[in-house]
Protein backbone atom coordinates (compact mmCIF):
# COMPACT_ATOMS: atom_id res chain seq x y z
CA UNK A 1 0.00 0.00 0.00
CA UNK A 2 1.22 3.48 -0.91
CA UNK A 3 0.13 6.36 1.36
CA UNK A 4 0.62 10.11 0.90
CA UNK A 5 0.03 12.40 3.88
CA UNK A 6 -0.34 16.17 3.44
CA UNK A 7 0.23 18.59 6.32
CA UNK A 8 1.45 22.13 6.89
CA UNK A 9 4.61 20.88 8.67
CA UNK A 10 6.60 17.63 8.83
CA UNK A 11 8.02 16.22 12.05
CA UNK A 12 7.52 19.34 14.17
CA UNK A 13 4.56 20.48 16.23
CA UNK A 14 1.81 18.09 17.27
CA UNK A 15 0.37 17.53 13.78
CA UNK A 16 3.81 17.17 12.19
CA UNK A 17 4.82 14.52 14.72
CA UNK A 18 1.54 12.64 14.22
CA UNK A 19 2.28 12.50 10.48
CA UNK A 20 5.82 11.18 10.98
CA UNK A 21 4.67 8.65 13.60
CA UNK A 22 2.16 7.25 11.08
CA UNK A 23 4.86 7.36 8.39
CA UNK A 24 7.24 5.18 10.42
CA UNK A 25 4.55 2.66 11.33
CA UNK A 26 3.72 2.34 7.62
CA UNK A 27 7.38 1.74 6.73
CA UNK A 28 7.81 -0.81 9.52
CA UNK A 29 4.90 -2.79 8.13
CA UNK A 30 6.33 -2.81 4.62
CA UNK A 31 4.22 -0.06 3.07
CA UNK A 32 5.36 2.89 0.96
CA UNK A 33 4.89 6.28 2.63
CA UNK A 34 5.33 9.95 1.71
CA UNK A 35 4.67 13.21 3.56
CA UNK A 36 4.03 16.45 1.67
CA UNK A 37 4.44 19.60 3.75
CA UNK A 38 4.30 23.35 3.29
CA UNK A 39 6.52 25.16 5.79
CA UNK A 40 9.87 24.91 7.53
CA UNK A 41 12.19 21.92 7.37
CA UNK A 42 11.16 18.27 7.17
CA UNK A 43 12.28 16.35 10.25
CA UNK A 44 12.28 12.58 10.80
CA UNK A 45 10.98 11.68 7.33
CA UNK A 46 12.95 10.14 4.47
CA UNK A 47 10.28 10.70 1.80
CA UNK A 48 9.30 14.34 2.34
CA UNK A 49 7.98 16.57 -0.44
CA UNK A 50 8.01 20.35 -0.04
CA UNK A 51 4.98 22.14 -1.50
CA UNK A 52 6.11 25.50 -2.89
CA UNK A 53 8.82 27.72 -1.44
CA UNK A 54 9.20 30.25 1.36
CA UNK A 55 8.35 32.96 -1.17
CA UNK A 56 5.08 31.12 -1.91
CA UNK A 57 4.36 31.08 1.84
CA UNK A 58 5.01 34.81 2.13
CA UNK A 59 2.73 35.68 -0.79
CA UNK A 60 -0.01 33.46 0.66
CA UNK A 61 0.38 35.25 4.00
CA UNK A 62 0.10 38.62 2.23
CA UNK A 63 -3.06 37.49 0.41
CA UNK A 64 -4.55 36.43 3.72
CA UNK A 65 -3.65 39.61 5.57
CA UNK A 66 -4.98 41.93 2.87
CA UNK A 67 -7.90 40.00 1.38
CA UNK A 68 -8.90 37.29 3.91
CA UNK A 69 -8.32 34.64 1.22
CA UNK A 70 -6.59 32.03 3.33
CA UNK A 71 -6.42 28.75 1.44
CA UNK A 72 -6.86 30.41 -1.93
CA UNK A 73 -3.23 31.35 -2.59
CA UNK A 74 -0.34 29.06 -3.67
CA UNK A 75 -2.11 28.14 -6.91
CA UNK A 76 1.02 27.57 -9.02
CA UNK A 77 2.78 25.70 -6.17
CA UNK A 78 -0.24 23.42 -5.73
CA UNK A 79 -0.47 22.62 -9.45
CA UNK A 80 3.23 21.69 -9.47
CA UNK A 81 2.67 19.53 -6.41
CA UNK A 82 -0.27 17.71 -8.05
CA UNK A 83 2.08 16.68 -10.88
CA UNK A 84 4.33 15.02 -8.28
CA UNK A 85 1.33 13.30 -6.72
CA UNK A 86 0.35 11.88 -10.11
CA UNK A 87 3.82 10.37 -10.48
CA UNK A 88 3.68 8.82 -6.99
CA UNK A 89 0.15 7.53 -7.65
CA UNK A 90 -0.73 6.84 -3.99
CA UNK A 91 -3.39 4.32 -3.00
CA UNK A 92 -4.58 6.51 -0.11
CA UNK A 93 -4.31 10.29 0.40
CA UNK A 94 -4.39 11.45 4.01
CA UNK A 95 -4.97 15.14 4.65
CA UNK A 96 -4.10 16.78 7.96
CA UNK A 97 -3.95 20.60 8.28
CA UNK A 98 -4.50 22.09 4.84
CA UNK A 99 -4.45 25.60 6.27
CA UNK A 100 -1.14 27.27 7.03
CA UNK A 101 -0.30 29.43 3.98
CA UNK A 102 0.96 26.70 1.65
CA UNK A 103 -1.71 25.04 -0.49
CA UNK A 104 -4.66 26.02 -2.69
CA UNK A 105 -7.73 24.17 -1.48
CA UNK A 106 -9.59 24.59 -4.78
CA UNK A 107 -6.81 23.05 -6.88
CA UNK A 108 -6.26 20.28 -4.32
CA UNK A 109 -9.92 19.24 -4.11
CA UNK A 110 -10.45 19.48 -7.86
CA UNK A 111 -7.74 16.84 -8.14
CA UNK A 112 -9.22 14.70 -5.33
CA UNK A 113 -12.64 14.72 -7.00
CA UNK A 114 -11.21 13.92 -10.41
CA UNK A 115 -8.83 11.13 -9.36
CA UNK A 116 -11.41 9.41 -7.14
CA UNK A 117 -8.93 7.85 -4.70
CA UNK A 118 -9.73 7.06 -1.05
CA UNK A 119 -9.16 10.15 1.09
CA UNK A 120 -8.80 10.46 4.85
CA UNK A 121 -8.98 13.92 6.38
CA UNK A 122 -7.91 14.38 9.98
CA UNK A 123 -9.40 17.59 11.37
CA UNK A 124 -7.16 18.93 14.11
CA UNK A 125 -9.35 22.04 14.56
CA UNK A 126 -12.49 23.67 13.12
CA UNK A 127 -11.04 25.61 10.16
CA UNK A 128 -12.48 23.26 7.53
CA UNK A 129 -16.08 24.29 8.24
CA UNK A 130 -15.81 27.98 9.15
CA UNK A 131 -15.48 31.06 7.01
CA UNK A 132 -12.32 32.18 8.75
CA UNK A 133 -11.23 30.92 12.18
CA UNK A 134 -9.74 27.64 13.40
CA UNK A 135 -11.55 27.77 16.78
CA UNK A 136 -14.72 29.51 17.95
CA UNK A 137 -15.43 27.96 21.36
CA UNK A 138 -13.74 30.78 23.29
CA UNK A 139 -16.14 33.42 21.98
CA UNK A 140 -19.12 31.04 21.73
CA UNK A 141 -19.74 31.85 18.06
CA UNK A 142 -22.18 29.62 16.15
CA UNK A 143 -22.29 31.41 12.79
CA UNK A 144 -20.54 28.40 11.22
CA UNK A 145 -23.78 26.42 11.54
CA UNK A 146 -25.64 28.41 8.89
CA UNK A 147 -23.11 30.67 7.19
CA UNK A 148 -20.33 32.84 8.58
CA UNK A 149 -20.51 36.63 8.19
CA UNK A 150 -19.18 39.71 10.00
CA UNK A 151 -16.47 37.55 11.58
CA UNK A 152 -15.76 38.57 15.21
CA UNK A 153 -12.32 36.94 14.93
CA UNK A 154 -11.10 38.51 11.69
CA UNK A 155 -7.87 39.57 13.39
CA UNK A 156 -7.25 36.06 14.81
CA UNK A 157 -5.43 33.31 12.90
CA UNK A 158 -5.42 33.35 9.95
CA UNK A 159 -5.66 37.09 10.52
CA UNK A 160 -6.91 39.58 7.96
CA UNK A 161 -6.01 43.21 8.52
CA UNK A 162 -8.43 44.65 5.98
CA UNK A 163 -11.28 42.66 4.41
CA UNK A 164 -13.81 40.33 5.98
CA UNK A 165 -14.45 37.61 3.41
CA UNK A 166 -15.88 35.12 5.89
CA UNK A 167 -19.25 34.73 4.17
CA UNK A 168 -17.74 34.08 0.74
CA UNK A 169 -15.05 31.83 2.26
CA UNK A 170 -17.77 29.78 3.94
CA UNK A 171 -19.69 29.32 0.69
CA UNK A 172 -16.54 28.48 -1.28
CA UNK A 173 -15.37 25.94 1.31
CA UNK A 174 -18.77 24.27 1.31
CA UNK A 175 -18.63 24.00 -2.48
CA UNK A 176 -15.00 22.80 -2.53
CA UNK A 177 -14.98 20.40 0.40
CA UNK A 178 -18.24 18.54 -0.34
CA UNK A 179 -18.78 15.99 -3.08
CA UNK A 180 -15.66 13.81 -2.70
CA UNK A 181 -16.87 10.25 -3.36
CA UNK A 182 -14.67 8.34 -0.90
CA UNK A 183 -13.68 10.62 1.98
CA UNK A 184 -13.55 9.71 5.67
CA UNK A 185 -13.15 12.36 8.37
CA UNK A 186 -11.11 11.60 11.49
CA UNK A 187 -11.12 13.77 14.62
CA UNK A 188 -9.03 13.39 17.80
CA UNK A 189 -12.02 13.97 20.09
CA UNK A 190 -15.73 13.20 20.27
CA UNK A 191 -16.33 16.91 20.79
CA UNK A 192 -14.84 17.82 17.41
CA UNK A 193 -16.55 14.84 15.77
CA UNK A 194 -19.94 16.15 16.89
CA UNK A 195 -19.14 19.60 15.49
CA UNK A 196 -18.11 18.12 12.14
CA UNK A 197 -21.37 16.12 12.02
CA UNK A 198 -23.28 19.36 12.55
CA UNK A 199 -21.43 21.21 9.78
CA UNK A 200 -21.65 21.10 5.98
CA UNK A 201 -19.21 18.13 6.15
CA UNK A 202 -21.99 15.93 7.56
CA UNK A 203 -22.23 13.94 4.31
CA UNK A 204 -19.00 12.14 5.23
CA UNK A 205 -18.49 9.35 7.78
CA UNK A 206 -16.74 10.66 10.92
CA UNK A 207 -14.53 8.50 13.15
CA UNK A 208 -12.58 9.35 16.32
CA UNK A 209 -8.91 8.47 16.75
CA UNK A 210 -7.39 10.12 19.81
CA UNK A 211 -3.94 11.65 19.68
CA UNK A 212 -1.22 9.37 21.02
CA UNK A 213 1.97 9.92 23.02
CA UNK A 214 5.29 8.14 23.42
CA UNK A 215 5.09 6.28 26.73
CA UNK A 216 8.79 5.44 26.56
CA UNK A 217 9.57 9.16 26.90
CA UNK A 218 6.61 10.35 28.94
CA UNK A 219 6.84 8.20 32.06
CA UNK A 220 7.37 8.77 35.75
CA UNK A 221 10.97 9.97 36.01
CA UNK A 222 13.31 10.85 38.85
CA UNK A 223 15.09 14.21 38.67
CA UNK A 224 16.51 17.03 40.78
CA UNK A 225 13.94 19.49 39.44
CA UNK A 226 12.50 20.28 42.88
CA UNK A 227 15.95 20.84 44.41
CA UNK A 228 17.05 23.12 41.55
CA UNK A 229 13.99 25.32 41.94
CA UNK A 230 13.77 25.22 45.76
CA UNK A 231 10.50 23.29 45.72
CA UNK A 232 11.58 20.30 47.80
CA UNK A 233 8.79 20.50 50.41
CA UNK A 234 6.20 22.26 48.27
CA UNK A 235 2.95 21.01 46.73
CA UNK A 236 3.66 21.78 43.06
CA UNK A 237 0.87 22.94 40.73
CA UNK A 238 1.97 22.70 37.09
CA UNK A 239 0.82 24.42 33.92
CA UNK A 240 2.29 23.83 30.44
CA UNK A 241 1.65 25.60 27.13
CA UNK A 242 3.53 26.31 23.92
CA UNK A 243 2.27 29.89 24.02
CA UNK A 244 0.65 31.33 27.13
CA UNK A 245 -2.26 33.54 26.14
CA UNK A 246 -5.71 34.35 27.44
CA UNK A 247 -7.24 31.28 25.78
CA UNK A 248 -4.74 29.02 27.54
CA UNK A 249 -5.77 30.36 30.96
CA UNK A 250 -2.71 32.28 32.14
CA UNK A 251 -4.94 34.74 34.01
CA UNK A 252 -6.34 31.88 36.11
CA UNK A 253 -2.87 30.94 37.32
CA UNK A 254 -2.28 34.55 38.35
CA UNK A 255 -5.54 34.40 40.34
CA UNK A 256 -4.59 31.04 41.84
CA UNK A 257 -1.26 32.47 43.00
CA UNK A 258 -3.23 34.79 45.32
CA UNK A 259 -5.06 31.84 46.91
CA UNK A 260 -2.38 29.18 47.42
CA UNK A 261 -0.67 28.52 50.77
CA UNK A 262 2.99 29.05 51.63
CA UNK A 263 3.73 25.33 51.22
CA UNK A 264 2.38 25.41 47.67
CA UNK A 265 3.91 26.74 44.45
CA UNK A 266 2.92 27.13 40.80
CA UNK A 267 5.27 26.12 37.97
CA UNK A 268 4.48 27.40 34.48
CA UNK A 269 6.37 26.02 31.47
CA UNK A 270 6.35 27.97 28.21
CA UNK A 271 6.49 31.55 29.49
CA UNK A 272 8.32 34.33 27.68
CA UNK A 273 10.92 36.40 29.53
CA UNK A 274 8.44 39.28 29.70
CA UNK A 275 5.75 37.03 31.21
CA UNK A 276 8.22 35.62 33.73
CA UNK A 277 9.10 39.11 34.96
CA UNK A 278 5.41 39.91 35.54
CA UNK A 279 4.70 36.75 37.54
CA UNK A 280 4.38 36.88 41.36
CA UNK A 281 7.05 35.26 43.53
CA UNK A 282 5.12 32.04 44.12
CA UNK A 283 5.09 31.25 40.39
CA UNK A 284 8.21 29.59 39.00
CA UNK A 285 8.41 30.59 35.34
CA UNK A 286 10.22 28.35 32.86
CA UNK A 287 10.82 29.06 29.18
CA UNK A 288 9.42 26.80 26.50
CA UNK A 289 11.52 23.64 26.19
CA UNK A 290 11.95 21.35 23.18
CA UNK A 291 13.64 18.79 25.43
CA UNK A 292 10.78 16.35 25.97
CA UNK A 293 12.76 14.29 28.50
CA UNK A 294 13.16 17.44 30.60
CA UNK A 295 9.44 18.14 30.22
CA UNK A 296 8.63 14.61 31.42
CA UNK A 297 10.82 15.22 34.48
CA UNK A 298 8.85 18.39 35.27
CA UNK A 299 5.52 16.57 34.95
CA UNK A 300 6.84 13.79 37.22
CA UNK A 301 8.07 16.24 39.86
CA UNK A 302 4.67 17.97 40.07
CA UNK A 303 1.72 17.02 42.28
CA UNK A 304 -1.05 18.14 39.96
CA UNK A 305 -1.34 19.36 36.38
CA UNK A 306 -3.84 22.18 35.90
CA UNK A 307 -5.13 22.93 32.39
CA UNK A 308 -7.44 25.96 32.53
CA UNK A 309 -7.73 26.09 28.73
CA UNK A 310 -10.75 27.93 27.38
CA UNK A 311 -10.53 26.42 23.88
CA UNK A 312 -9.00 23.07 22.93
CA UNK A 313 -9.56 20.06 20.68
CA UNK A 314 -7.77 17.25 22.54
CA UNK A 315 -4.71 18.60 24.40
CA UNK A 316 -1.74 16.22 24.52
CA UNK A 317 -0.47 17.98 27.66
CA UNK A 318 -3.20 16.15 29.62
CA UNK A 319 -1.94 12.84 28.25
CA UNK A 320 1.69 13.68 28.99
CA UNK A 321 0.86 14.53 32.60
CA UNK A 322 -1.06 11.29 33.12
CA UNK A 323 1.78 9.27 31.58
CA UNK A 324 4.13 10.77 34.18
CA UNK A 325 1.77 9.83 37.01
CA UNK A 326 0.37 13.33 37.59
CA UNK A 327 -3.40 13.87 38.02
CA UNK A 328 -5.11 16.43 35.79
CA UNK A 329 -7.57 19.22 36.56
CA UNK A 330 -9.16 20.85 33.51
CA UNK A 331 -11.98 23.20 32.67
CA UNK A 332 -14.98 21.63 30.94
CA UNK A 333 -13.69 22.76 27.56
CA UNK A 334 -13.93 21.11 24.14
CA UNK A 335 -12.19 17.75 24.08
CA UNK A 336 -9.97 18.48 27.07
CA UNK A 337 -12.24 16.51 29.41
CA UNK A 338 -12.20 13.32 27.33
CA UNK A 339 -8.80 12.03 28.45
CA UNK A 340 -9.53 11.87 32.19
CA UNK A 341 -11.96 10.23 34.59
CA UNK A 342 -12.54 10.46 38.36
CA UNK A 343 -9.66 8.06 39.06
CA UNK A 344 -7.02 10.38 37.63
CA UNK A 345 -8.39 13.91 37.62
CA UNK A 346 -11.19 16.44 38.04
CA UNK A 347 -13.27 18.43 35.55
CA UNK A 348 -14.44 21.86 36.75
CA UNK A 349 -16.80 24.46 35.34
CA UNK A 350 -15.15 26.62 32.70
CA UNK A 351 -13.85 29.87 34.21
CA UNK A 352 -14.81 29.01 37.81
CA UNK A 353 -11.71 29.95 39.83
CA UNK A 354 -13.25 28.91 43.16
CA UNK A 355 -14.09 25.45 41.84
CA UNK A 356 -10.59 25.22 40.36
CA UNK A 357 -9.02 26.12 43.71
CA UNK A 358 -11.20 23.59 45.54
CA UNK A 359 -10.25 20.87 43.06
CA UNK A 360 -6.56 21.49 43.77
CA UNK A 361 -7.23 21.22 47.50
CA UNK A 362 -9.07 17.94 46.94
CA UNK A 363 -6.17 16.48 44.94
CA UNK A 364 -3.77 17.60 47.67
CA UNK A 365 -5.92 16.01 50.35
CA UNK A 366 -6.66 12.72 48.61
CA UNK A 367 -3.35 12.25 46.79
CA UNK A 368 -4.64 10.51 43.66
CA UNK A 369 -2.76 7.32 42.94
CA UNK A 370 0.09 7.54 40.46
CA UNK A 371 -0.93 4.10 39.25
CA UNK A 372 -4.39 5.33 38.27
CA UNK A 373 -2.84 8.00 36.06
CA UNK A 374 -0.37 5.57 34.48
CA UNK A 375 -3.14 3.06 33.78
CA UNK A 376 -5.28 5.73 32.10
CA UNK A 377 -2.36 6.92 29.95
CA UNK A 378 -1.94 3.47 28.40
CA UNK A 379 -5.12 4.14 26.40
CA UNK A 380 -3.13 6.72 24.41
CA UNK A 381 0.07 4.85 23.53
CA UNK A 382 0.97 6.32 20.16
CA UNK A 383 1.69 3.08 18.30
CA UNK A 384 -1.67 1.65 19.32
CA UNK A 385 -3.55 4.84 18.40
CA UNK A 386 -1.87 5.37 15.03
CA UNK A 387 -2.24 1.73 14.05
CA UNK A 388 -5.94 2.57 13.98
CA UNK A 389 -5.19 4.72 10.91
CA UNK A 390 -3.69 1.72 9.16
CA UNK A 391 -6.87 -0.21 9.87
CA UNK A 392 -8.85 2.53 8.15
CA UNK A 393 -6.40 2.66 5.22
CA UNK A 394 -6.86 -1.07 4.69
CA UNK A 395 -10.64 -0.87 5.07
CA UNK A 396 -11.16 1.91 2.52
| pLDDT tens for the chain, residues 1 to 396 | 999 999 999 999 889 999 999 999 999 999 999 999 999 999 999 999 999 999 999 999 999 999 999 999 999 999 999 999 999 999 999 999 999 999 999 999 999 999 989 999 999 999 999 999 999 999 999 999 999 999 999 999 999 999 999 999 999 999 999 999 999 999 999 999 999 999 999 999 999 999 999 999 999 999 999 999 999 999 999 999 989 999 999 999 999 999 999 999 999 999 999 999 999 999 999 998 878 899 999 999 999 999 999 999 999 999 999 999 999 999 999 999 999 999 999 999 999 999 999 999 999 998 768 999 999 999 999 999 999 999 999 999
Q: Has residue 218 been placed in a domain?
A: no
User: Got the DSSP string for 157-202?
Assistant: SS--SS---HHHHHHHHHHHHS--TTEEEEESSHHHHHHHHTSTTT
Predicted TM-score of the model (pTM): 0.94
Q: Has residue 217 been placed in a domain?
A: no
- Long-range contact set of residues 246-252: C-beta below 8 Å, sequence gap at least 24: 246/310, 247/135, 247/138, 247/309, 247/310, 247/311, 248/308, 248/309, 248/310, 249/307, 249/308, 249/309, 249/310, 249/331, 250/275, 252/308, 252/351, 252/353, 252/356
Q: Has residue 197 been placed in a domain?
A: yes
For residue 262, give every residue at least 6 positions away whose Cβ sits within 8 Å of its Cβ, in sequence order, or none. none
Task: For residues 60 and 205, state if they share a domain.
Answer: yes
Task: For residues 157 and 262, state if they share a domain.
Answer: no
**Structural domain range at position 352:** 225-380
Task: For residues 104 and 139, state if they share a domain.
Answer: yes
Task: For residues 7 and 130, state if they share a domain.
Answer: yes
Q: Has residue 27 been placed in a domain?
A: yes
- The total domain count for the chain is 2
Task: For residues 235 and 366, state if they share a domain.
Answer: yes
Q: Has residue 220 been placed in a domain?
A: no
Cα 146 → chain centroid? 25
Q: Has residue 169 been placed in a domain?
A: yes
Task: For residues 250 and 184, state if they share a domain.
Answer: no
- Domain with residue 9: its CATH number is 3.40.50.2000
Give, as one character, the DSSP assignment of residue 5. E
Task: For residues 204 and 235, state if they share a domain.
Answer: no
Task: For residues 281 and 135, state if they share a domain.
Answer: no
3-state class (DSSP) for residue 336 = helix
Task: For residues 71 and 104, state if they share a domain.
Answer: yes
Q: Has residue 151 been placed in a domain?
A: yes
Task: For residues 280 and 176, state if they share a domain.
Answer: no
Q: Has residue 198 been placed in a domain?
A: yes
Task: For residues 174 and 261, state if they share a domain.
Answer: no
Task: For residues 48 and 134, state if they share a domain.
Answer: yes
Amino acid sequence: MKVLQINSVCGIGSTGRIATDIHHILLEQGHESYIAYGRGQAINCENAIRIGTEFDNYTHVALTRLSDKHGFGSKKATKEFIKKVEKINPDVIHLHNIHGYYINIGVLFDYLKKVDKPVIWTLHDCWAFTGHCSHFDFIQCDKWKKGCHLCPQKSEYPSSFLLDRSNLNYKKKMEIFTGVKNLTIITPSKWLANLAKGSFLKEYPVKVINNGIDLEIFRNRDSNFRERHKLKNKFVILGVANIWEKKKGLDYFIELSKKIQTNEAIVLVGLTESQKRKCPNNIVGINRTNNIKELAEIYSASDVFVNPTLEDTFPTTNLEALACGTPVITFNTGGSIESIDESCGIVVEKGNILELSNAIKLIKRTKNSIENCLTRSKKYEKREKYNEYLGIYNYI
